[in-house]
Amino acid sequence: MSRQVILDTETTGLNPAAGDRIIEVAGVELLGRRPSGRHFQRYVNPLRSSHPDALRVHGLTDEFLSGMPEFRSIVDELLEFVRGAEVIIHNAAFDVTFLDAELERLQLPPFASHCAAITDTLALARQQFPGKFNSLDALCKRFGVDNTRRTLHGALLDAELLAEVYVWLTRGQDSLAIDLGDTGRGGEQAPQDLSGLRLRVQRASEHELREHDAILRALDKAGGAVWKPRLAGAAADE
């Protein structure tokens, strides 16, 4: 089963070459494109103050961060969490540059050498929606992902939101086949006798119908539901 980690960082500013540092790093694990329930999140003492503009974004004060461990104290946990996984980041170049700078201070190899691959959801979004706003907030709105809790940027919350956005962005990449558990020899599903099975028909509730309509609206915003032209063509043939 494929393993992915949705990763995000918060920083003291925009330029690690000028001494800006990571102050928070968080990741959410996906197994088979579904949240596993595992996550990683650590605050980090950057040994310097945040730029006022950055502080307005993340709200993590010097006083709060002064009691947190330095990056050297959390690096082993972080690298163990991402090891062997495809790491998915929004605007990956920004976060990876900061991670590489922190690793270089500790004389450790670059971040990409510790994981299987790095995927940039900003690049994916720009391919699908050229010329449109593709920030995390814009993508949440486009796909109907609830980001009302995002009054300040936080690495763990942003990673959780990005996990939902990523599944929408890549929803056509995987098979819709259902995992039915153990298979027979050669990878084929062992035959089962379902002759006596009687299925109960459960009608959708009003709430479920509204949720279904919301999903269809989100699909329309993302480029349209692919079955609609087919339905229209079938009606024309009748």
Q: pLDDT tens digit string along 87-126?
A: 999 999 999 999 999 999 999 999 999 999 999 999 999 9
Query: What is the pLDDT at residue 223?
Result: 62
Residue 42 φ then ψ, to 5°: -140, 135
Selected residue with higher pLDDT from 189 and 51: 51
Fill in the amino acid letter for 79: L
Query: What is the pLDDT at residue 150?
Result: 83
Give the model confidence (pLDDT) of 150-202 as tens digits.
877 899 999 999 999 999 999 865 433 334 444 444 444 455 555 555 656 66
Query: What is the pLDDT at residue 184?
Result: 43
Range 81-85 average pLDDT: 97
Whether residue 134 is predicted with pLDDT greater than 90 in this model: the reply is yes
Closest CA to 136 of 147, 127, 128: 147
Query: What is the pLDDT at residue 194?
Result: 56
Active site residues: 153
Query: What is the pLDDT at residue 5?
Result: 98
Query: What is the pLDDT at residue 175?
Result: 36
Q: How many whole angstroms separate alpha carbon 191 and alpha carbon 184? A: 8
Q: How many whole angstroms separate alpha carbon 69 and alpha carbon 216? A: 46
Share of the chain above pLDDT 90, in %: 68
Range 48-67 average pLDDT: 95
Selected residue with higher pLDDT from 232 and 159: 159
Neighbours of 143 (CB within 10 A): 18
Share of the chain above pLDDT 70, in %: 79
Please state which of the ranges 65-79, 93-107, 138-152, 198-212 shows the lowest mean pLDDT. 198-212
Selected residue with higher pLDDT from 217 and 47: 47
Report which secondary-structure segment, H or E, holds 38: strand 34-43
Query: What is the pLDDT at residue 172?
Result: 63
Would you list the domain boundaries of the chain?
3-169, 204-238
Count the alpha carbons within 13 Å of 195 in the hemisphere toward its beta carbon.
Answer: 2
CATH 3.30.420.10 corresponds to the domain 3-169: yes
Query: What is the pLDDT at residue 153?
Result: 86
Range 215-232 average pLDDT: 62
Count the alpha carbons within 13 Å of 210 in the hemisphere toward its beta carbon.
Answer: 3
